Amino acid sequence: MADRVTLVEVAPRDGLQNEPVRLTAAEKIRLIEGLADAGLPVVEAGAFVSPKWVPQMAESGAVLQGLTRRPGVRYPVLTPNLKGYRAARAAGADEVAVFAAASETFSRRNINCSIAESLDRFAPVFAAARADGVPVRGYISCVLGCPYEGPVEPGAVADVAAALHDRGCAEISLGDTIGTGTPTATRTVLAAVTDRVPVTRLAAHFHDTYGQALANLLVALDAGVRIIDTAVTGLGGCPYARGAGGNVATEDVLFMLDGMGIATGVDRPRLLDVSAWLSARLDRPAASKAARALLARRGEQSMEDS
Ligand code: HMG
Ligand code: MG
């Protein structure tokens, strides 16, 4: 088993893109800086998408520009097309992500084009990024099920993964967008994808709608995946995947990995400070069981100490 895993914190993007509560740019910056200070090595900082489609990400330029970057931390942003890429670069982005899907219907609902058309739209992004020396992450949604089409063929996922890999994606994140995956299905899709793409290039991006994410992550770890996307408090969702639960929580994954002796570099007390702040700001408890339990324990201990 691994002795080190890279956590990619996606709450400031995936977590907030579907939130009814709108954080200001200053609050988003506070969130991102807090996560980086807690030791998260990669913090997804926003999305340069249409503000008509996803208004919650409208201030991504101001966020990137206002951010104090921690040395060594990466701050990727979503860029669905060249327009988004140019805006992201103008705001100082030095790592971007394109996002495709393994299901045609989801692709149309999410980015208004077919899978093949999406790859064409990404071509100028890849070309510009290559010229600028900017790494590109690639997401694939619906790898374990689609909200419109139901089950998704592992071969379809592998085709999109291979296409993104061939076009130069440094990393490919496999999204269980609606969280319907179970361990056996996770093993099957990973086997299909790793036939075509080296496992070292893969990340697991699991939403926890049905409480399967940790079990599925264990399968992914077993298959050799060493990059895991998480969101503090378990925040998350996609505006084009109704009923999708939040991302697997950073606190839950951290509790599991710490317990297994797998290093992440994340400082649990500092992460809990961010978790407590975000829950207070959103005016609801964390979706994460680990966050709630650890914060309750911390509260009890401070009462005992006083
Ligand atoms: P479109 O309507 O097909 O684009 O949208 P268009 O090129 O025809 O342009 C239409 C309008 O959008 C124009 O403005 C463009 O300027 C503008 P108008 O002339 O009407 O005023 N536009 C843009 N504005 C800002 N930034 C841009 C941009 N591009 C065009 N980059 C588009 C295509 C992709 C832009 C649109 O469908 C969109 O923004 N979709 C948002 C999708 C999204 O953000 N989804 C959530 C993230 S994906 C996700 O959550 C899944 C993931 O977490 C993994 C998982 O869990 O599975 C990653
Ligand atoms: Mg997601």
Residue closest via CA to ligand 1's atom 23 equals 50
Q: Compare 284 and 227 and report the one with higher pLDDT.
A: 227
In a domain, 264, yes or no: yes
In a domain, 1, yes or no: no
Looking at residue 94, its pLDDT comes to: 97
Q: Nearest ligand, CA of residue 118? A: 1
In a domain, 215, yes or no: yes
In a domain, 101, yes or no: yes
Q: In 3D, which of 268, 191, 198, 255 has the Cα closest to residue 227?
A: 198
pLDDT higher than 80, residue 119? yes
User: Maximum Cα–Cα distance for the chain, whole Å?
Assistant: 62
In a domain, 60, yes or no: yes
Strand pairing class (171-176; 77-78): unpaired
- 16-34: b (≥16 Cβ within 10 Å) or e: bbbeeeebebebbbbbbbb
pLDDT higher than 90, residue 181? yes
Average pLDDT rounded to a whole number, residues 173-196: 98
Question: 90: which 2 tokens?
Answer: 């103008």
* Exposed / middle / buried, residue 11 (Cβ in 10 Å: 0-12, 13-18, 19+): buried
Looking at residue 305, its pLDDT comes to: 83
Flag the least confident range among 64-78, 187-201, 238-252, 272-286.
238-252
Tell me if residue 113 is catalytic: no
Return the ∠ at Cα 136 (arms to 155 and 133), rounded to 5°: 145
Looking at residue 242, its pLDDT comes to: 78
pTM for this prediction: 0.97
In a domain, 174, yes or no: yes
List, as ranges, residues with CB under 5 A of the ion ligand 2: 14
- In total, how many domains does the chain have? 1
Which residue segment(s) compose the domain that 208 sits in? 6-305
Question: 284: which 2 tokens?
Answer: 């609801």
User: pLDDT digits over 83-114, tens only?
Assistant: 999 999 999 999 999 999 999 999 999 999 99
Cα of 148 from ligand 1 centre, angstroms: 19
User: pLDDT digits over 214-268, tens only?
Assistant: 999 999 999 999 999 999 999 998 888 877 889 999 999 999 999 999 999 999 9
In a domain, 143, yes or no: yes
Residue closest via CA to ligand 1's atom 47 equals 238
User: pLDDT digits over 35-60, tens only?
Assistant: 999 999 999 999 999 999 999 999 99
DSSP assignment string, 121-166: HHHHHHHHHHHHT--EEEEEE-TT-BTTTBS--HHHHHHHHHHHHH
Looking at residue 306, its pLDDT comes to: 76
In a domain, 184, yes or no: yes
Which residues lie with the beta carbon below 6 Å from any ligand 1 atom?
A: 14, 17, 47-50, 53-54, 78, 80-81, 83-84, 99, 110-112, 139, 141, 175, 177, 205, 207, 238, 240
- 283: CATH: 3.20.20.70
Looking at residue 241, its pLDDT comes to: 81
Strand pairing class (227-230; 136-141): unpaired
pLDDT higher than 70, residue 2? no
